[in-house]
Each structure stands twice: as C-alpha cells, then as structure tokens.
Structure 1
Amino acid sequence: MSISAATLTHDPMARTIQHELTPVVSSFRSWLSWLPSSVVSLLVLGLIGLVAALISRLATDRILMRIPGAKRGAFVRSFTRTLRGPVRLTVVILAMSLALPACGLHGDLLDTVAHLLLMSFVGVMGYGSFLTVRVISDAYLTRFSETDQDDDILARKHATQVRLLRRVAEIMICVLTAGAELMTFEPVREYGLSLFASAGAASLIVGLAARPILVNLFAGVQIAMTQPIRMGDLIAFQGDWTWVEEITSTYVVLRSWDWRRRIVPIAYFLDTPFENWTYNSAELIGAVYLYVDYRAPMEKLRSKLEEIVRSCPQWTGKDFSAQVADCTDHIMIIRVTASARTAIRSWDLRCEIREKIIRWMCEECPEALPRTRFAMTPTEQSAAQPPLGMTDPPFKPGQPAPEHPLTDPFSPQAAPAMPQPATAMPHQKAFRPL
C-alpha cells in the first residue's frame, strides 16, 4: 500500500521526528527562499538521506567490520560486508520516510515521493533477503568444504539439500518481491483482489501454462528431501560414468569421464530408474578377469595377485579374492576382486592389477599364458597301412644297405610324383584341437 501524509502524521515516531526536524527545516528553507518550495523540500529530503548514509557507513565500517573473533567474528564481518549496501539503502529510505512529513511536501508530490520510497524499500528488502539466504547457506557449506566429499556421504547430503533449498528460496523471494512491488499500485492491487475472488479459472490456466516449470520445481524440493542423488554422486547414465556436478531447481548437470556435460531435467530422476554407485558409500569392489591356460599354477598365481593388490595404494584392505570363475574348452577364467574407496580409484586399481600380473606371467610364468593346441592323428587308411620302410627286405651286416628309391636324390624314381586326390594319399594326417 502507498504511504500518505495522513498515515505518517498518525505515526508517533513520525510526529516526534517531525517535531525535531521542523526548526532545522525551517532555517534551511529560509536560506533557500529564492528557490521554489517543492525544490527546497526535495533538497532537504536528499540532505537527510545523505546524513543517514554517512551514519550507516560509520556504523558498518567502523564498528561491525572490526568485531574480533575467528569464527563468529568472521561470520559477522562477512555478513556485514555482503549486506552493507542493502543496509545502507534501508537506513536512508527509512530516514527519508520518517522525515517526509517535516519536509513540507503536499498533495500529489507527497504521494509520489512516498510511493517511490515504498517501492525502493520493498526492492531493497527483497535484495537483502536474497543476499541473506546466500550468506547463510555459504557459511553453512563452509563447514564441509575442508572434508573429502567423495567419501563423506553426510557432507554431500547437506550440500545438496542446502543448494536446492537455497535456489527454491531465491525463486520465492524474487516472486514475492515482484508481487509486492506490483501490489503497491492501486489498479494492480484491485485486479489482484478480483483474481483472488474468482481464482478458479485463472489459477487453472496459470497452472497448465507453468506445468513444466512447476513439475521440475517440486521435483527439486522432493530430491532435496529424499536425496536419490547428491552433489558429487557417481551415476551410470546411458552407459557412461557421470558425476553430479550441479543441481539447480529445474535441471541437473552431469559431467562424464571425458568432461562432457549433460543437462537432464530434474524430474527425470524421479520418473526413470538409474544406478547411483555412491548412494550409501563411495567404496566399490572392482573385478578383474584373467584368461589363463589350464596349466597355470593357481596357488602361485593367487599369491602373486595378493602381493600385487597389497602393494597398490588404492586398495582399502577390506576385500580381495582370486577364484576360477569359469572355464572354456581352451582356457580358464580367473576373477580377481579388490575394494577401493571410490570408483575412480577402483578403475586405477584394476588397471594396475592387469598391467602387473600380465608382465609377471610373461617374465616368470609363461605356462599361464593362454595358448591353442593341435594334435596330429592318423586316419583309418593310414593306420591300416604299415609305415614306410617296414616292407623292405633285410640285409646282412657288412653289406651296403640298398638304396631306397625315395632316399636316392639322383634316382629317376625319386622324381616328384603327380599330385593325387586327397583320398588316395597313403600318409595323410588329420588335425584336431586338443
């Protein structure tokens, strides 16, 4: 509502200030009697605002900014440093409003100046409330800034709640401030009252038009309360590793491992199932699969794997196992599990295990490397025919051995024969895998 001269006159404080300022204003107006009375009144009002600004600056810079203390004093100094602008404007507006009846303004000019002061006061109060929410939330989040939020679930929970609720509060402050500014105008106030009187159809139309915004806004409040995701959570999103980098009132920013950002509506995390790898704890168990030969010495291999895992700084010491998880007709599969504090450290741990165990098998245990075997077995025809040389006649000792046609390179019978069909080859061998 607008401030009128009658309203200010009935205020006891306004009457007191007017009584104290009337002699000062009268003497000042006598010095500037050659100017129009309205100009003199505005100059007096500006002078009062300037004096109030100097007093507020003295109070903030000389008193509040020098409060000692490492924690509470630091908070007061930070709070004063952030809000000294709105505080000074508030003091100036209040001083000018209280001194307005003593300035000699009348009629429409008085109502116009009072309305401007009221609008300024509403705007400054809204801006001050906006900054207050930010200062308090930042001071609360400072408690968790020094902790490792990758492992501290409580810190990430509070950070998510405070950030989401702060954005909701900022939106509400902006909406209420704009509504209060509009309500200072008489036509708008009457229209607003008429809308409230018949709010059924109007609220339905506004609700349908703003449905996407309202859905995401209420989803943000629900996520802040139920915490399905938090700041810094590791989420499996569409086949990629993604981290929750930012949660706003309407969308979530997901950062993938290659630094790409994905903007997802916040309502998605209430309507669609997803994997949160850090919901209760950031600790994960990583698995490494090794494909080794059947002749691999399992006990020796298990001992070496345990030695490798224990030497890795990423291992937490809680879980380790090396077991034959499966086997095929050529190899057996060994599954190695080891725990790590975070998913990134689990990835680094698994890569280090693979690298070291492969190097060790190549240098120290080559029989563990997978290989493919083939066996040569005779066919039925070659098995029925005696081997070459068994039908030759025996010879006596001391006599030269008869030259076999196939062993004499200069014999005409040693010439290469014409190729024969595969079924006519007497010494054909068959290959089969072991």
Structure 2
Amino acid sequence: MPTSSRYPVLWPLATLLAVVAVTLAVGWLADQALQRVAARHPQAPVWPLLRRCRIPLQLVVATGLLLAGQPLERLFDVRDGELHHVVLLLLLACLGWLTVRIVAAALEAVLGRYESVTDDAARVQRVRTQIGMLRRVVSAVIAVVTAAAMLLTFHAMRTVGASLLASAGILGIVAGIAAQSTLGNFFAGLQIAFGDTVRIGDTVVVDGQQGTVEEITLSYLVVRLWDYRRLIVPVSYFVSRPFENWTRRDPGLLAWVLLHLDHRTPVDQLRAALHRLLVDSPLWDGMEWSLQITDSTPSTLVVRAAMTARTPDDAAVLRFEVREQLFAYLRDEHPYALPRIRTGEAP
C-alpha cells in the first residue's frame, strides 16, 4: 500500500514544508544574487532597489507552488475548488504587487541615474515630478488590470461578460459624467507633470499663501507652508487659475525691504552700511543689490533696500536680517533718522 494511502496527512505536510523551504531558498538566492550584481556594478542603482521585491517574489513562488501541488486541499480534504480559487486570487494579487515593485524600482533607478549625471536642479525637479506621476499612473493601471484578472476568475463574471460589453457604451457615459471631477484632476495632473508648470520643490503662492510643493498626486497637490501647515489643493486649480511660481526657471529671487525714515536720513551712508551687511552675509549671492528712495510723504522718506538670494528661503531670511541690522545701524549711528511723530510746530 502506498505511503500516501496509509498516512494521508504526511504527504501534504511534507509538500507544504517543501513549499516553505523552496520559497525561503528562492528569496535568499535572489537577494544574494542582487547583492553580488550590485557590488560589481555600483554605478547602477537599479540592483539595490530590486531587493525590495524579495517579499512579493517569495509570495508569488509560494502561491504558485501551492497552486501546483495542492497540499492545502489534501490536508484539509477540500474538493470543491474553493481553496484552489482562493490561492489563485492570492497568486494574481502577488503578481500585481511584484510588478508594481519592479516598475517602481526601475523608475527610481532612472531618476537616480539622471540626478548623478545632471547638475541642473530645475531639470532634476522636472524629471522627479514626471517620474513620480508616471509611477502612480502605471501603478493604477497595474492595479486595475490585476483586479480585472481576479474578477474574471469568477464564473459569474465570465457569464455576464457579454452583457457588460453590450452596455459598455451607456456605462461609460454614466461613469464619465459621475467622475467628471476625478477625470479632470487626473488629466490636470498629467498636464502638470509633463507641462512643467509646477514641480516638486517649487516655491509657489496659492491664494496669497506662500509654500513649497511637497507632493503631486493624480488628484491633489500638497503645499508645505512656512509654518509647516499643509495646504491641499486640487491639481485642476493649477491649470484653471493663475498662481505664482517663484522657482520655475531660476530659484534665485530678489528680496526687498521698505523702510520709512526721517527726511534727514543720510542715504549715502545707509547705502554703504547695506553693502557692508550684504558682503558679510552668507545668504547674499553677490549678484545684485541697491538702496533707493522710492517715495516720500510729508513726514517720512520711503527707502527700498533690494538684494538677491539663491533660494526663496534664503531671500526671506535675508530680508529679516537686513531690516533688523539696518534699524540697529540707524539707532546706534543716526538716531535722528528714525521717524518721529511731531506734535508741535517746528522752530
């Protein structure tokens, strides 16, 4: 009598242990192979990134072996095919997960390679935004295809397939009307990613609030404000309304400070003091600076100090420093230059 007949539990248990052993061995061998290839080709970032695919790869191997050997059906004495169907669904889901991981690793490797050979920060930001959007689109397509393949494994879905295809036109119209806003945001996201209007890391002004673009998705855009709040804006906003992008072509920015001073202010000496402050400041990029009288009132002069900085953040800090140090200079050296409110007649 065969061993499997006398001991009906031993054979499926041995098969199940073999599946576990093969799964662990495949994961270990794949990880070791990727480590060796990465050590031989350190300039190629794709191999270390592919190591993230170890868990979905092991799950694919495990579910594939369970589907082929059917040890669970024999162990639990299930013959109606329900457990087989569950394992098949898990295999399809794991295949989709593995595909998403491989695509993400490949796109991140492309971005890393581009960053290593390009010194232009604007181009790097543009490529990072485009690759991030492309990864989300491809992941969404893979998820839809995987879900469709899983649904087609059900007999009822195959039976009603002809009916669904016959009514696809009507369903498409209804779905398009219902998801008009979602589809609008989706295509707006693609337009932003490949139209180069706004990128991750850009400094923008939205509804009077300045912030840095932190994340771009298919439906919304996250702007980090100066006080670390996050402003969530639909991507359709950036293709239908005007907004300010301070770093689209050049991250450098012209900062300015307005001072209301007394008419007796020694403007030439104040201009020289501004130049000394800028030379000593690491935030000034050394490109442009000026100090001019832009307006006057019956009681004050309006003096504007302008200077350039490398980034919007540097420009903001430089404005604060210049304003503080110029007032300190006037207070210590020329106190009469600070404006006063006169309540009596002048002599």
CA distance in 2, matches of 1:357, 1:183: 73
Q: CA deviation at 1:178?
A: 0.5
Q: 1:335 to 1:57 in 2, by over 3 A?
A: closer
Shift of 1:42: 5.6
Decide which of 285, 289, 307 is 2:254's aligned counterpart.
Answer: 285
Amino acid at match of 2:187: F
**Which of 160, 168, 175 is 2:137 aligned to?**
168
Q: Distance in 2 between matches of 1:57 and 1:86?
A: 10
8 Å CA contact retained: 2:46, 2:105: no
Distance 1:99 1:32, change over 3 A: closer
In the TM superposition, what whole-angstrom CA distance separates every residue of 1:364-419 from its partner, at most 9, and x where no partner exists? Answer: 22343334568xxxxxxxxxxxxxxxxxxxxxxxxxxxxxxxxxxxxxxxxxxxxx
Is residue 254–residue 308 contact of structure 2 (8 Å, CA) maintained in 1?
A: yes
Q: Which residue of 2 aligns with 1:343?
A: 312
Tell me, yes or no, if the aligned pair for 2:212 and 2:225 is still in contact at 8 Å: yes
Higher-Rg member (1/2): 1
State the Cα deviation string for residues 298-326 of structure 1 (Å, max 9, x = none): 32222222222222211111111111111
Instruction: State the TM-score, normalizing by the size of structure 2.
Output: 0.84
Q: Out of 152, 164, 177, which is 1:195 matched to?
A: 164
Contact 2:45 2:109 in 1 (8 A): no
| Matching residue of 1:308 | 277
1:239 to 1:338, Cα distance in 2 relative to 1, 3 A: same
Q: Deviations over 1:135-161 (max 9, x none)?
A: 2233344458899x9x92222212211
Letter in 2 for 1:32: S
Q: Is the 2:125–2:201 Cα contact (8 Å) retained in structure 1?
A: yes
Correspondence for 1:358: 327
- Give the deviation of 1:45 after TM superposition: 6.0
2:61 paired with 1:86 = no
Q: Which has the higher helix share?
A: 2
Q: 2:217 aligns with which of 248, 251, 274?
A: 248
What's 2:42 paired with? 71
Cα 1:345–1:146, aligned 2, differ >3 Å: closer, same or farther?
Answer: farther
Alignment of 1:13-412 (within 5 A): 30-34=2-6, 46=16, 49-50=19-20, 52-53=22-23, 55-57=25-27, 59-67=29-37, 68-69=39-40, 71=42, 75-79=46-50, 81-94=51-64, 109=79, 115=85, 118-142=88-112, 152-371=121-340
Does the residue aligned with 2:6 lie in a helix, a strand or coil? coil
Distance 2:154 2:145 in 1: 15
> Residue deviations 1:162-217, cap 9 Å, x none?
22221222222111110111112232123233322332111112222222322222
Q: 1:66–1:77: 8 Å Cα contact kept in structure 2?
A: no
- Unaligned runs of 5+ residues in structure 2 are none
Instruction: Report how many aligned residue pairs link the two structures.
Output: 340
Scaled by the length of structure 1, the TM-score of the pair is 0.68
Write the distance in 2 (CA, Å) between the matches of 1:338 and 1:171: 46
Give, as a single letter, the amino acid of the residue that structure 1 aligns with 2:321.
E
- TM-aligned CA distance change 1:73 to 1:34, over 3 Å: farther
> Counterpart of 1:5?
none
- The alpha-carbon deviation at position 109 of structure 1 amounts to 4.8
- What is the percentage of aligned positions where both structures have the same residue? 34
Shift of 1:231: 1.1
Report which stretch shifted further, 269-278 or 136-145: 136-145
Cα-to-partner distance string for 1:324-364 (whole Å, 9 max, x where unaligned)? 11112222222111001112211221222122222222222
Per-residue CA deviations over 1:238-278 (Å, capped at 9, x if unaligned) read: 22222212222211122211122222212111112111111
Instruction: Specify the code of the residue in structure 2 equivalent to 1:189.
Output: R
CA RMSD of aligned residues (A): 3.4
In 2, the alpha carbon distance for the partners of 1:324 and 1:58 equals 72
- Rounded Cα–Cα distance in structure 2 between residues aligned with 1:307 and 1:333: 21
TM-aligned CA deviation for residue 61 of structure 1: 4.4
Say whether the 8 Å CA contact 2:46–2:106 is kept in structure 1.
no
Aligned counterparts of 1:32 and 1:183: Cα–Cα separation in 2: 35
Name the amino acid aligned to 1:304: A
Following superposition, the deviation at residue 432 of structure 1 comes to: 5.7
